[in-house]
Amino acid sequence: MMVLAELRNLMKRFGERTVLNDITLQIQEGEILGLLGPNGSGKTTLLKILAFLLKPNAGKITFRGETVTEKNLERMRLESTMVFQKTMLFNTSVYNSVAYGLRIRKVPKNKIDEKVSKALKLVRLEGFEKRQAKKLSGGEQQRVALARALVLKTKLLLLDEPTANLDPKNASIIEEVIATANRELETTIVMATHNMFQAKNLPHRIALMQEGRITEVGTSTEIFGRLSKTLASFATVENTFSGIAEVSEDGIMLLDIGNDVQIVASGQSSGKVSVFISPEDIILSKMRIASSARNILEGKIVEIIDLGSIVRLKVDVGKPFTVQITKRSFNEMELNLNSNVFLTFKASSVHPV
Amino acid sequence: MNEILNGIVKALQLIFSGDPTFYGIVFRSLLFSGLATILAAVWALPTAMLLSLKNFPGKSIIKGFFTAMIGIPTVALGLFLWFLLYNDGPLGSLGLLYTPGAIILGEALLVTPLIVSIETQTIEAVDPEMMNLARTLGASDSQASIAILKEAINGIAFSNAAGFNRAIAELGVALMVGGNLAGFTDVLTTNISTFNARADWSMAIALAIILLVIVFGVNLIIVIAKNPRVLLTMGKMPE
């Protein structure tokens, strides 16, 4: 594999605060590289440096064999584009939003029409050309943002938490589009995420980040197999639990994660195990619901984070669980801090890490 | 009370009779205030972009200065300009005093703080990451600045409309550096004042009606330009 971009001993400071320190990383052509780390670990800053939007205070960047300097910065930007975590759209139609970068590149009108149409089809927004971009739902807006970047067919595509604030349906469309773009358009992708499940499944390689440093780089099998120290400490914030597992006589894996909380998982491991449950996979209800799901936990809402169309809740069931529901559900259920709720999820939603 | 009612009737007759003196005054007002606003817009927009998009020492002091100057009394500015422009003044050699040029320059200076302040706030209100968004899609720095301005276009249009309204409605500058010379530098506000002093209320009221129509009309055009659908929903109760 060819090296598309190389960072050597990169350092970035904002005032007195060092946000990236001694970053050395190679990005291979055609790969999906995941940047996995907690908030504040420097993922977004690193992506902005790779998008040539921020200049490092020290270190060297090489892109397609050419050293990046002040002089070639604007030319380099034409080959690397970023989709931000917070969806930002110009106050115009979906067509004009997606066509913006093509117009900058002076692509002829008939070609623009064709490319915009293909990009919208890729993100499953065919026929949305004339709609006002800002009037779409949160998930549709993020898909427009992705189409706007994909249409440019840049060598490098940078995605900052592309599914962080989305409902499961939109999140899975975006994940599919990312995989398709990489496979069929051969776009090299670097994506920041703090979703363990996404990190495990989508990228070919993962760089673990903590406090502005890259602590480990490897394939997802290597990283998750090793269950490194960084991963374990980071995991505590995102529905990742460690405990002692036992396999019962009827072949069910029972994991005791402490504080009298037990989780049923579909694996067959025993002994010390760490598992991850995606916040999108957990059903939240005010009453205990009868279903085939093996895990029903009762707890209280201890934190509410409004993310626009989505609300993230932290529920204390003895251990803190993060749950993600739509704003509409949140309002209809009349939830508040300290509301008593039930969390329901299938044994197959418990993924060993 | 009768005199006022008579004044209103006569004023309406004057408006619809096509009186050349009356419409000459209206034309000069529109021309001087329009040119003053265009002149102010030319230097206000780059100033606002500098104040909103760049960081430099003393920026907040300059922003504070413009905000404070929004409320400058027009007579105070008129007096200051008179001292600058009179024959023995520093700019006396330009021969601008009591000419339309003096009014246009004076009104442009008067409305500049208002336009700069509103435009600065409007551009600052656009998400700062928008600049990075345009850049990452391939825009050069100047193309990215244009993208930001497009996002702020409603506020920019509003600031210029507000500037025009302040210019056409002011009296102090036009009177002090224009001199209210009949058929040359007299405008709506100076004439309203003069005709009122002469107890010629029909002319004063007619000019005041036109002034109000212009000020409200400009605001209405801005509202409609911002959202043409407002025409369809006028008179309906909000949902």
Ordered by start, the domain boundaries in chain A are 3-234, 240-352
Q: What is chain B's mean pLDDT, rounded?
A: 91
B151 part of contact set with chain A, CB < 8 Å:
yes
For chain A, the average pLDDT equals 89
Structure token pair of residue A72? 């070639």
A229 pLDDT tier (thresholds 50, 70, 90): low
Tell me B178's DSSP state. Answer: I
Whether the per-residue pLDDT at B134 is higher than 80: the answer is yes
- Read off the pLDDT of residues B57-66 as tens digits, 9 standing for 90 and up: 999 999 999 9
Q: Do B150 and A91 touch (CB under 8 A)?
A: yes
Q: pLDDT at position B221, please?
A: 85
pLDDT of residue A227: 57
- What's A240-352's CATH class? mainly beta
What's the pLDDT score for residue A221? 76
Higher pLDDT, B187 or B15: B187
Percent of chain A with pLDDT over 90: 60
Cα gap B94→B122, rounded to integer Å: 36
Task: Answer whether A104 sits within 8 Å of B137, measured CB to CB.
Answer: yes
Angstroms from A23 CA to nearest CA on chain B: 22
Element (H, E) at A196: helix A196-201
pLDDT range class, residue A252, cuts 50, 70, 90: confident
Chain A residues with CB-CB distance to B143 below 8 A: 104
Q: Provide mean pLDDT across the span A320-335.
A: 88
Identify the band that residue A234 occupies on the pLDDT scale cut at 50, 70 and 90. low
The yes-or-no verdict on residue A242 having pLDDT over 70 is: yes
Tell me if domain A3-234 and domain A240-352 are identical in fold.
no
Task: Report the pLDDT averaged over residues A52-60.
Answer: 95
What per-residue confidence (pLDDT) applies to A37? 85
Put simply, the chain A residues between 254 and 293 with a CB less than 8 A from any chain B CB are none
Report how far apart the first and last C-alpha atoms of chain A are (Å, whole number). 28
Distance CA A197, CA A175 (A): 11
Q: What is the pLDDT of residue B1?
A: 67
Q: Which of B123, B136, B154 should we substitute to test contact with A (largest number of A Cβ atoms within 10 Å)? A: B136
For residue A90, give the nearest of B129, B132, B151 by CB distance: B151
Question: Measured between CB atoms, does B227 come within 8 Å of chain A?
Answer: no
Distance, in angstroms, between A330 CA and closest chain B CA?
Answer: 24
Q: In angstroms, rounded to a whole number, what is the distance separating the alpha carbons of residues A237 and A313?
A: 13
pLDDT at A237 over 60: no
Quick: pLDDT tens for B69-122: 999 999 999 999 999 999 999 999 999 999 999 999 999 999 999 999 999 999
Per-residue pLDDT of A294-306, as tens digits, reads 999 999 999 988 7
Task: Write out chain A residues lying below 8 Å of B134, CB-based.
Answer: 100
Q: How confident is the model at residue A173 (pLDDT cuts 50, 70, 90)?
A: confident
pLDDT at position A310 is: 76
The number of C-beta contacts closer than 8 angstroms across A and B is: 48
pLDDT at A169 over 60: yes
Superfamily of domain A3-234: P-loop containing nucleotide triphosphate hydrolases (3.40.50.300)
Model confidence over A101-148: pLDDT tens digits?
A: 999 999 999 999 999 999 999 999 999 999 999 999 888 999 999 999
Residue A76 and residue A69: Cα distance in Å, rounded? 9
- Interchain contact B136–A (C-beta under 8 A): yes
Per the CB < 8 Å rule, is A149 touching B137?
A: yes
Contacts of B226 in chain A (CB under 8 A): none
What is the structure's pLDDT at A83? Answer: 96
Closest CA to A297 of A333, A342, A346: A342
CA distance A132 to chain B (A): 14
Q: Is the pLDDT of residue A52 over 60?
A: yes
Is A143 touching B (CB cutoff 8 A)? no
In the predicted structure, residue A212 carries a pLDDT above the cut 70: yes
Please list the alpha-helical segments (H only) found in chain B: 2-17, 20-53, 59-69, 74-85, 100-125, 129-136, 141-151, 153-169, 172-173, 188-197, 201-226, 230-233
Task: Report yes or no: B62 at the A interface, CB cutoff 8 Å.
Answer: no
| pLDDT of residue A170 exceeding 60 | yes
B129 touches chain A (CB under 8 A): yes
CB contact B150 to A (< 8 Å)? yes
Q: What is the pLDDT of residue A100?
A: 97
Q: Is the pLDDT of residue B2 over 70?
A: yes
B199: left (phi over 0), alpha (psi -120 to 50) or beta: left
Q: Which of A95-109, A245-259, A333-347 has the lowest mean pLDDT?
A: A245-259
Alpha-carbon span A172 to A245, nearest angstrom: 30
Q: Does position A236 have pLDDT exceeding 90, yes or no?
A: no
- With CB atoms and an 8 Å threshold, state whether B129 touches A88: yes
Give the 3-state secondary structure of residue A317: coil
Helix (H/G/I), strand (E/B), else coil: A71: coil
Query: Could you tell me the pLDDT band of residue B201, with boundaries at 50, 70 and 90?
Result: confident
The 10 Å Cβ neighbour count of residue B59 is 14
Over residues B166-194, the mean pLDDT reads 95
pLDDT at A341: 95
pLDDT at B6: 79
Chain A interface test: which of B123, B126, B137 (most A C-beta within 10 Å) = B137
Contacts with B138 from chain A: Cβ below 8 Å: 77-78, 81, 101, 104-105, 152
Distance from CA of A79 to the nearest CA of B (A): 8
In this prediction, residue A230 has a pLDDT band, given cuts at 50, 70 and 90, of low
Of the candidates B222, A52, A204, B216, the one whose C-alpha atom is nearest the C-alpha of residue A191 is: A204
Region A257-263: what's the mean pLDDT?
A: 90
A150 at B interface, C-beta within 8 A: no
pLDDT confidence tier of residue A348, bands split at 50, 70 and 90 = confident
How would residue A32 be classed by pLDDT, with cut points 50, 70 and 90? very high
Query: How far is it, in rounded angstroms, from Cα B125 to Cα B116?
Result: 14
Instruction: Please indicate whether, in this complex, the C-beta atoms of A74 and B140 are within 8 angstroms of each other.
Output: yes
Residue A228 has pLDDT above 70, yes or no: no
Chain B contact for A64 (CB, 8 A cutoff): no
Band (A10; pLDDT cuts 50, 70, 90): very high
Q: Which of B37-46, B148-157, B200-209 has the lowest mean pLDDT?
A: B200-209
User: Any CB–CB contact under 8 A between A104 and chain B?
Assistant: yes
Residues 6+ apart with CB under 8 A from B161: B218, B219, B221, B222
Which of A85, A90, A105, A135 to mutate to probe the B interface, most B CBs <10 Å?
A: A90
Residue B154 C-alpha, separation from nearest chain A C-alpha, in angstroms: 11
Between A314 and A194, name the one with better pLDDT.
A314
